[in-house]
Amino acid sequence: MATISESINPQFPNPTSFVRYLGIDIRPRRFGFVVIENSIVLDSGIRMCDKSEFDNCLGQGFDRLLNIYKPSALIVRGTNGVHANPRKRKVSAAIKRRTKQHHVEVISIGPATIRRYFDRHNAVTKYQMAQSVATLLPELAWKLPRNRKPWETEHHRMSIFDAAAVVVVHLAL
């Protein structure tokens, strides 16, 4: 089975240079994250809070991730736009402020770039994209929830796969 480094980019990354990426998927009351270093998933999960106030609960969880893993870059899905949720934009702005305090580069990947990448792998739906991510990062495969029915809400663990997808797309660029 091919590793993520072989399937995305044969030159990624030089084994002597260690690059640690923190990918996050921002939601109004939570964020999913994945930490990847040289094609290996170090950690993944979700941080949730009852309120959408970033500074207390979510901010502390995010700061812990930055302090523990000390990523080279934070990779997020672009949240700016006319249709972006105002609370989601607020959380995104707070995250960008915190990463600036920690001197971490923020890389934003647009939704169109993500769709184009996964279209090449015949992954059109969100679940198909998550399956592709699980194939590229087998450490995450056990966290992939079952495909939801149209009337069901999205499983909260899909946020982990959205976070991993932006890292995968970034590594492919």
Residue boundaries of the structural domains of the chain: 4-172
47-56 core/surface letters (b: 16 or more CB in 10 A; e: else): bebeebebee
CATH 3.30.1370.60, applies to 4-172: no
Residue 10: pLDDT above 50? no
Q: What is the pLDDT of residue 52?
A: 57
How far is residue 77's CA from residue 108's CA, in Å, rounded to a whole number?
6
Q: What does pTM read for this prediction?
A: 0.84
How far is residue 103's CA from residue 72's CA, in Å, rounded to a whole number?
9
Residue 134: pLDDT above 90? yes
82 or 42: which leads in pLDDT: 42
How would residue 127 be classed by pLDDT, with cut points 50, 70 and 90?
Answer: very high
How far is residue 93's CA from residue 80's CA, in Å, rounded to a whole number?
10
Is 27:158 a contact under the CB 8 Å cutoff? no
Residues making up the chain, counted from first to last: 173
